[in-house]
Amino acid sequence: MALNETHDAGLQSWLASANTGKSDFPIQNLPFAVFRRKSGNEAFRGGVAIGDQVLDMAAVRDAKVLAGDVQAQVEAAAASQLNALMAMSPAQWSALRLALSRALRAGAKEEAALKACLVPQSEVEYTVPVQVGDYTDFYTSVHHATNVGKLFRPTNPLMENYKWVPIGYHGRASSIRISGVDFKRPSGQLKAPDADPVLKPCNRLDYELEMGIYAGAGNPWGDAIGIEDAENHIFGLCLLNDWSARDVQAWEYQPLGPFLSKNFATSISPWIVTLEALEPYRTAFTRPAEDPQPLPYLSSAANSRRGALDVQLSVAIQTEKMRAAGQAAEQITQTSYRHAYWTMAQLVAHHTVNGCDLQPGDLMGTGTLSGPTAAEAGALLEITEGGKKPLSLSNGESRTFLLDGDAVVFTGWCEKPGAARIGFGECRATVLPARQV
């Protein structure tokens, strides 16, 4: 990917709501989702965000508004699942983005035809935009790994392998849900000291601030994706909340890692921001000189020069009491994806180095993206030091872990001088009471 005319910070759309400078969805973004109107029984179909509207790609397809050389991409972008679009090449993705950008610019001849294809975002609902065949969750923040490790191993928080290998585990694709879908508090085996385990609802429920990485075209089984080619196999990114039952996790995770503590729910934001849209926010990937440097299959000049992304990320909590009082969610964390210890290209290269075959639409979580300071912690486990230091909220409430009725809201955005601000929307869900066990 490279900077091109679609990134020009001076571009304006004929849709005024895209030109405010505050919208997540200016013409420089153009992310993808799958949606339908809330009322009625419409079919889900693909859409593109512009300002406060969704450009209905099925309507664009039917109206044949865009040039014929991108009709295959338009057809794929209009589908009820975006796997076929993700299976295309970066050149095809880029051609569709360019066609959309030109048609949505102020003065474009397509304005009248595309206006008829707009649906207000306030009137739509979303669904998971792809058939997620597999979901892998990584552990890419050295700050998160260190903070959590200190709770159990104060003098030796990081495991020996952490700085050598991108650690990950395979999660449960079937329980991935779109933002706005609430979930019941999970149950599992809990064990108190000097007592036998019991089955009961989790009482140490946590969130994890992550980004999700959608795979593009896959690789043949048995072949590896080299780091130089890895980003050609990434379609785009979303926000991801890897909900975690910490007390269930503490009892079950040895020797094979998380199981019921992670597989009950994973929330994702509806909008997929393409890798091309994120190009202006690239930054260098570096390692402290005293740390082990990545093995050759995890290293390239391009990855070192521009492999990291400066995506700003925030966490906010809205308790039931706040909601009843009409109070908005309160921000408790702000950090950046740039602090990750491993880049997205390194994750793809490592995931496939043994011949594992990725498929279009596979999802990879970054792991909790904590930054280097306490204000940048990406989970309550870190903020409260395992529940020992409650988090105080401005309305007088406090939290060690999440209570029923708590909503957790993630937001993400990119901004820098000389580039347009773009965003990811939000990833939100509310904790409901557990079912009886």
Specify whether 233 is catalytic. no
Does residue 189 form part of some domain? Answer: yes
Assess whether 90 and 161 both reside in one domain.
no
Assess whether 144 and 239 both reside in one domain.
yes
Assess whether 326 and 242 both reside in one domain.
yes
Assess whether 340 and 376 both reside in one domain.
yes
How many whole angstroms separate alpha carbon 85 and alpha carbon 79? Answer: 9
Assess whether 164 and 47 both reside in one domain.
no
How many whole angstroms separate alpha carbon 364 and alpha carbon 342? Answer: 13
Does residue 86 form part of some domain? Answer: yes
Cβ–Cβ under 8 Å, residues 402 and 205:
yes
Does residue 62 form part of some domain? Answer: yes
The number of beta carbons lying within 10 Å of the beta carbon of residue 12 is: 15
The number of beta carbons lying within 10 Å of the beta carbon of residue 17 is: 16
Assess whether 149 and 219 both reside in one domain.
yes
- DSSP classification of residue 339: G
From first to last of its 437 residues, the chain has per-residue pLDDT tens of 789 999 999 999 999 999 999 999 999 999 999 999 998 789 999 999 999 999 999 999 999 999 899 999 999 999 999 999 999 999 999 999 999 999 999 999 999 999 999 999 999 999 999 999 999 999 999 999 999 999 989 999 999 999 999 999 999 999 999 999 999 999 999 999 999 999 999 999 999 999 999 999 999 999 999 999 999 999 999 999 999 999 999 999 999 999 999 999 999 999 999 999 999 999 999 999 999 999 999 999 999 999 999 999 999 999 999 999 999 999 999 999 999 999 999 999 999 999 999 999 999 999 999 999 999 999 999 999 999 999 999 999 999 999 999 999 999 999 999 999 999 999 999 999 999 87
Cβ–Cβ under 8 Å, residues 412 and 239:
yes
Domain boundary among 127, 152, 167: 127
Domain boundary among 67, 98, 127: 127
**Helices in 134-223 by DSSP H: which ranges?**
142-152
Does residue 374 form part of some domain? Answer: yes
Considering its fold, how many domains does the chain have in total? 2
Does residue 139 form part of some domain? Answer: yes
Does residue 437 form part of some domain? Answer: no
Does residue 420 form part of some domain? Answer: yes
Residue 436 has what pLDDT?
A: 87
Assess whether 167 and 280 both reside in one domain.
yes
Residue 39 has what pLDDT?
A: 84
Assess whether 110 and 140 both reside in one domain.
no
Assess whether 46 and 159 both reside in one domain.
no
- DSSP classification of residue 79: S
How many whole angstroms separate alpha carbon 347 and alpha carbon 232? Answer: 13
> How is 356-425 classified by DSSP, letter by letter?
PPP-TT-EEE------SSGGG--SHHHHTTTTTSPEEPTTS-EESSPPTT-EEEEEEEEEETTEEEEEEE
Does residue 369 form part of some domain? Answer: yes
Task: Specify the residue for token string 């869900």.
Answer: 429
CA dihedral 206, 210, 216, 222 (to 10 degrees): -70
Assess whether 118 and 227 both reside in one domain.
no
Among 144, 339, 350, 351, the active-site one is 144
Residues in the chain: 437
**Helices in 37-121 by DSSP H: which ranges?**
57-63, 71-77, 83-86, 90-104, 111-115
Residue 289's CATH number? 3.90.850.10
Task: Specify the residue for token string 């309550």.
Answer: 380
Range of the domain at 339: 135-432
Assess whether 161 and 95 both reside in one domain.
no
Domain boundary among 78, 95, 127: 127
Assess whether 118 and 246 both reside in one domain.
no
Residue 64's CATH number? 2.30.30.230
